[in-house]
Chain A
Amino acid sequence: MAVLRFFPPFSPVVSAKIHAVVLFNICDCYVRRPDQADRVIGTLLGSVSDGVVEIKNSYAVPHNESADQVALDVDYHRNMYLSHLKVNPKEVLVGWFSTGFGVSGGSALIHEFYVKELKEAQSSIPPIHLTVDTRFKNGEASIKGYVSSNLSLGDRPLAAQFQEISLDLRMIEAERVGFDILKTTAVDKLPNDLEGMEASMERLYSLLDEIYKYVDDVVEGRVTPNNDIGRFLADTLASVPRMSTAAFDKVFNDKIQDNLALVYLSSLVKTQLGIAEKLNTAAQIL
């Protein structure tokens, strides 16, 4: 009796994290694709740790696709890979991406190619296949990541099964600061310190409002109380340091005075600069 055997991937990959750069790059490549191409295919670079793959960079690879054949420009892929390695030798091949919904037949072939590439590089993780739906097929943006495993019937390889893995979009802090800029299509100028402060404070304010509303709702019985949230809130409130008013005032005033001293110092320095410059250029030799 033939048994459908399931080969687990060569090392468990549980989830993947994508950096926002990768997404932007893919969108950009899609927008710039040659007219006759339907979708864009490219390589993903990143690093692996503990079964979590972190996708940090990507580049598009030109390819030709017809009804039954897919041809990928391997030399281009290798050249770009070497160039990228020169800049950052830690970013290695982790998979490939394609725009378009779901996994198609041609994808399996391309995936095979990447499996071979990774095996050559002696990596222990299977390649990740990322699909980014740029056409918003279901009316929503869908980004899915897959890992493939080979299904075989007896000894004959039958198909490759693509299993979905969980994805996590993450942004490093600096990107988060500028996040508002990234969302809209055009921003007239970069926000400076004060505006950024204002935005953060507004967010904090609305956060507090939300919590207030929630607590009110719970007290009045409108929302079923969730013990965990309640405990969390209590912990947060308790973590505000309790100092006597006098001690707090002292600390507060000290800090304010430090800051004022610094501002004074910097304006003093600026005046000094003005004088120095006048001296340097205004002096005349008779």
Chain B
Amino acid sequence: MKISILIFLLFLAIQTVLSWKKEEFRNCNQTPFCKRARSRKPGSCNLIAQDVTISHGELTAKLLPKIPQGQDQDQAKPLILSISVYQNGIMRLKIDEDASPKKRFEVSDVIISEFESKKLWLQRVSDERSDGDADLSSVVFLSDGYEAVLRHDPFEVYVRGEQGNRRIVSLNSNGLFDFEQLRDKKEGEDWEESFRGHTDTRPYGPQSVSFDVSFYGSDFVYGIPEHATSFALKPTRGPGVEESEPYRLFNLDVFEYIHDSPFGLYGSIPFMVSHGKSGKSSGFFWLNAAEMQIDVLASGWDAEPQISMPTSQSRIDTFWMSEAGIVDVFFFVGPGPKDVIRQYTSVTGTPSMPQLFATAYHQCRWNYRDEEDVENVDLKFDENDIPYDVLWLDIEHTDGKRYFTWDKLLFPHPEEMQRKLAAKGRHMVTIVDPHIKRDESFSLHKEATQKGYYVKDASGKDFDGWCWPGSSSYPDMVNPEIRTWWGEKFFYENYVGSTPSLYIWNDMNEPSVFNGPEVTMPRDALHLGTVESRELHNAYGYYFHMATADGLVKREDGKDRPFVLSRAFFAGSQRYGAVWTGDNTADWDQLRVSVSMILTLGLTAVTFSGADVGGFFGNPEPELLVRWYQLGAYYPFFRAHAHQDTKRREPWLFGQRNMELIRDAIRGRYMWLPYFYTLFREANVSGVPVVRPLWMEFPTDEATFSNDEAFMVGNSLLVQGVYTERAKYASVYLPGKESWYDIRTGTAYEGGTTHKLEVSEDSIPAFQRAGTILPRKDRFRRSSTQMVHDPYTLVIALNSSQTAEGELYLDDGKSFDFKQGAYIQRHFVFSNGQLTSSNIVPTRGESSFSTDCIIERIILLGHLPGPKIALIEPGNQKAEIEMGPLRLGEHAGPAAVTIRKPGVRIADDWTIKIL
């Protein structure tokens, strides 16, 4: 009785604890630079561009305040502006102080080295006078039909297309630009800031930068992850806006984040994409790793516009504020959505090519407790014939949260354990976080201390913060030397108990500091001796991810693609591995928001992303869990994960029926692996994400612009999640003029309209677009490794003119040989009743890849039944045509026209003609 009372009280207390602690994090009003910037009035910027000239292939100018005549201008320190242009429609604008007492931080190692080689050497600048302007504008060439313009007074920069007729993106059109230059402290001035008992010494005083950016001809803006919010970014200021917080970019470890908030989460990518009715997109990227706050301004936000806009085009205004750093911004002219991503990834790099296994299903939990647990879970997957590729170990596997070690009681034989998994083609992932336990007997800590490798606090001592192990320090990952040192810790001889089938998970790298301000590192902590944490905070996790991934590459002498999952990220993280959306919760809203979050990550090039299937916190009802698996099977990164306090939720724990449903969802992913892998390669080449918003494929279809409940997997599959309990129907909008085929039933649905479809518990709606050809593998194995030799199925979805095309990419799934040409890329075309397979890569590279895999089945959707025979050339072979199931197994759909056993090799050129 008394127990129950006490427990009840405790429970109440816990209830209040277990929720997002909004007040523990700064809002804009509590953040002086944000408050100051937001209170500024449009047109308050009085800078004008002077001394405009071309030098070193760049357009340069000085920005100085416009002083009424008679006053002395000598007092003002100028800002230095430079505009450079790059191939394919990229303009870069930099603005920094001329001579500052301390060099402002420029984020290193984000822009890829190849980018500089794409610079166009500017030689000519032409002047023009806009209507009503007293002063000139300087115009330089950007790319065919595009120009970059620097307007002198008032100072404004923009890019325009169509021979000057269309503005695309502009900066400072609303005159909100402000650059707080570093200066000496005035007498009596207090620079310290305090928040919830944490004091920020701010030795260098105010140094924020802010400006407005306008996107023309756009109806929506997207991007700037990471927020749990809608995909199309809702306005944060202006008429009809209740939410008064800007989108915050500040990497934070947020306990139980909520599903609809502009609040900053684990990662930050200051890259925004706009899109509008014309079908055109543009992009804007600010390379700055300090805390950033971004307002999306609702139309009419400026009740009394103080400046007249020089164009009447529809536009979206945004306001960007950063605590520190410089202006180093990139304008991307598009014009298509995929062009914008190509342009952005030519600056920050395309997503790396993952190993095949990493694109399959991952099984994780905090924690698989010991070797026996691992063995049992592994066995249960086999007993239930559920494929999985990777088993994960969370923090408890270590010896007292000392990473690179094993708990000797729970994991006495780590190598043998990994080898047992590897014998089934499976892999293991262990967690390695950036906080190093401050324990004199821990050699890693000793070494880092001796070498001075830790981040320092404001007083210059090794920063000491609290995290899982207790008192911890954090290696200064911004330093390349320290990154190299860190990477070597993953060598087999250093990471005792690791084997070649072991890969890594980087968690808590925001960094999470339990006793720090806002659960992270104080802003006045020091990197590289002099750089404050405030200047690079958002990139810390990125450097950590980089160091780990590079270490894994070196571990195998550059022969093995790394796999590293990171929670924190920054622009460029796509080059180092996967990210996930952090500690989500097992509820339907979070299932829904996972799609927005993953679409946003994909749009900003971090395509290898996913949300914890099932929800990290809480216990999902079986129905929610099943729906989550059905959706998660289409996440680029497909992993189930759960908090240690939750009930076990391996797929077989919810009864036979639910096990079958989950198994079917997982098998669905394995079935589509050849397609996913092809898409990962596409992303690797072009930056175009695996999972895309509908408007990326249907740019002029307005109905798709704010749809974030459905998404495209590549250009061929459309998936609609089911986000409510006991749903009987789902409304699915199918864009375009061509039909869509239900991937289970083969039923054709008309495009360009919303369908109210019955849904069962079996699956979520998914459709293949007419006119596409998809590769599948219909045999399910223990893991993707055993599927390597299995035959393919091709699914041809014919469009109204009875044609279709598709691609297949494959390589060895592991090594970097594909970079030397060791891959196969096939192009399939169906037209005139004939399927042709041809090689996309015209010439062989230095090395090659071959496979004996054959095609066992070709399914034709939208083809009339009747033909009995197909003729295969070369060889003049015949194959039977019959009505066969669209999908094998328990969930076989109705029959479709099927070419039985064509037996052609996937690697060869051939044609198959339907007779």
The answer to whether A and B assemble together is: no
